[in-house]
Amino acid sequence: MHPSDCQVTVIGGGAVGAAAAYFLANAGYREVQLLESGALGSATTGQAAGLLGQSRTTLERTKLAMASAKFFRNFEVDLGHTADWRETGSLRIAMSAPAIAELRSIAAIASAAGLDVHLIEAAQVQELCPTLEDVSSISLALWVPSDGYVQPNSLVNAYIAAAKDLGVNVCTHTSVLDVEITDGAVSGVVTNRGRISTKLLINAAGPWAGALARKSGIELPIVPVLHEYFVTEPQAGWHSGLPNLRIPEIAIYARGEGRGILCGGFERNGTSIDPTEVDVGTALPDTPNWEVLGQFAEQFKRFVPSVVDAGILTAFHGWPGFTPDGRFIVGPVAGIKGYVMAAGCNAHGVSGSAGLAKHLVESLSAQVSPYVESLSPNRFIPRTWQWSSARNQAQAICENYYPMPSLPQ
């Protein structure tokens, strides 16, 4: 499609932009257009594992994640397009006393939220996931039968199809080069395919969202941090219907992908990019860190010794945007009418896309809850923080994604 003048312009065709376009159109916004510089889902979203875990460390986050799972479960029936939701269940494994205490606390929160969870022993873990070759180090596990994952590209395509059903204009290979602001309000965007008028701009440019905002004088700490996983060649017994596995003490997650093992993690010494050096339209480094991926395999071999000898089929990697407080950045920017953020996903922008897009719609309404208000970009405006410490804090959010003391080696 060709870009044209419109009321609402969503920049970015990843999970967040696609969800935003659908939810805005569904909320009654008219003349919504989505501009994506490459192909849909071709950046961070296309690299994601798609995991959705509902059991969290706070009641609020647990309820939000439950709402997301419900949304994905009913996606096809409600929207008429499939996001390939797989309700495989998940197992969160504990080996040491602090991890057991965390599991018990999470289980209590889950029960308070009405989420069906079960604390189980190693033998039951192996029954649910027979591909775990060695369960001797498992002290306890949390089984969440209604957890699962989406296929990120299917999710984006489904949001886009549903958005198009509501009349949204979707233009790929259209890069926003600059945003026009007239008398303190968004008036248009300049693209590689010409200039268009628009009144409401949603910046959902993923790891480039901070760079795009900076062009309009908005400084927001959205820090790209490297995250990656590998998928092995087919291994006996593995398949896509096995439960998602999370092992916080070694900061590893895994699931079946096709007939292979998908295994990723959060390294304790992460790699981030100085956000002030990210530019609109420039590519981010595109090489996986094989040393780190090797460390993930070494950690996971405690449960699946054969993983270290398995051939690697492919490595997925990208630079999800992290924030210093680990929270989304959603809502209107003070001082520029019509400039709205939908970014800073802290590596849960696929599973959190529907929730984030709902918050976005709410942030534009007359009734904004304290929770949604707390996600506002204005918590970082004006800039009283330093770029270097904001970068360090955001990177630390990724490194401590599972806030657990490491096991002694």
Q: How far apart are CA 169 and CA 154, in angstroms?
A: 19
Helices (H), 171-289: 209-215
Site string for ligand FAD, 278-307 (x = CB under 6 A): --xx--------------------------
**Beta-bridge partner residues of 194:** 191
- Does 79 bind ligand FAD (CB under 6 A)? Our answer is no
Q: What is the DSSP string of 287-301?
A: ---HHHHHHHHHHHT
- Can you tell me which of 63, 227, 246, 302 binds ligand FAD, judged by CB under 6 A? 227
The dihedral sign for the CA sequence 390, 399, 289, 265: negative
Query: Closest Cα to residue 8, out of 168, 160, 121, 139?
Result: 168
- Does 318 bind ligand FAD (CB under 6 A)? Our answer is yes
- Specify the stretch interacting with ligand FAD by CB under 6 A; choose among 78-86, 296-304, 347-355, 367-375: 347-355
- Specify the stretch interacting with ligand FAD by CB under 6 A; choose among 82-90, 126-134, 344-352, 384-392: 344-352
Residue type, 162: A
**Residue nearer to ligand FAD on the CB measure, 140 or 267:** 267
Shortest distance in whole angstroms from residue 37 CB to ligand FAD: 4
Cis-peptide into 382, omega within 30 deg: yes
| Total interface residues for ligand FAD by CB under 6 A | 45
- Does 169 bind ligand FAD (CB under 6 A)? Our answer is no
Q: At what angle do helices 97-113 and 59-73 cross, to 10 degrees?
A: 60
**Which residues in 32-51 contact ligand FAD (CB under 6 A)?**
35-38, 42-45, 47-51
The dihedral sign for the CA sequence 370, 375, 378, 382: positive
- Does 157 bind ligand FAD (CB under 6 A)? Our answer is no
- Does 252 bind ligand FAD (CB under 6 A)? Our answer is no
- Can you tell me which of 6, 16, 140, 310 binds ligand FAD, judged by CB under 6 A? 16
Query: Closest Cα to residue 256, out of 279, 271, 236?
Result: 236
Q: At what angle do helices 353-363 and 59-73 cross, to 10 degrees?
A: 110
Query: What is the edge-to-edge ordering of all strands in the sheet holding 169-171?
Result: 169-171, 32-35, 8-11, 200-203, 339-343, 329-332
Site string for ligand FAD, 136-155 (x = CB under 6 A): --------------------
- Can you tell me which of 139, 175, 187, 271 binds ligand FAD, judged by CB under 6 A? 175
Q: How far apart are CA 107 and CA 59, in angstroms?
A: 11
Shortest distance in whole angstroms from residue 364 CB to ligand FAD: 18
- Does 205 bind ligand FAD (CB under 6 A)? Our answer is yes
Residue 155 tokens, joined:
């999710």
Q: Report residue 269 CA to chain centroid gap.
A: 20
- Does 170 bind ligand FAD (CB under 6 A)? Our answer is no
Shortest distance in whole angstroms from residue 104 CB to ligand FAD: 25
- Does 316 bind ligand FAD (CB under 6 A)? Our answer is yes
Residue pointed to by tokens 């929207």: 79
Shortest distance in whole angstroms from residue 38 CB to ligand FAD: 5
- Specify the stretch interacting with ligand FAD by CB under 6 A; choose among 82-90, 138-146, 270-278, 340-348: 340-348
- Does 377 bind ligand FAD (CB under 6 A)? Our answer is no
Shortest distance in whole angstroms from residue 356 CB to ligand FAD: 8
- Specify the stretch interacting with ligand FAD by CB under 6 A; choose among 13-21, 72-80, 106-114, 388-396: 13-21
Element (H, E) at 152: helix 152-165
Query: Closest Cα to residue 64, out of 374, 395, 393?
Result: 374
Shortest distance in whole angstroms from residue 189 CB to ligand FAD: 8
Q: β-pairing, 148-149 with 51-52? A: antiparallel
Q: Which residues bind ligand FAD (CB under 6 A)?
A: 11-17, 35-38, 42-45, 47-51, 175-176, 204-208, 212, 227-229, 280-281, 316-318, 320, 343, 345, 347-352
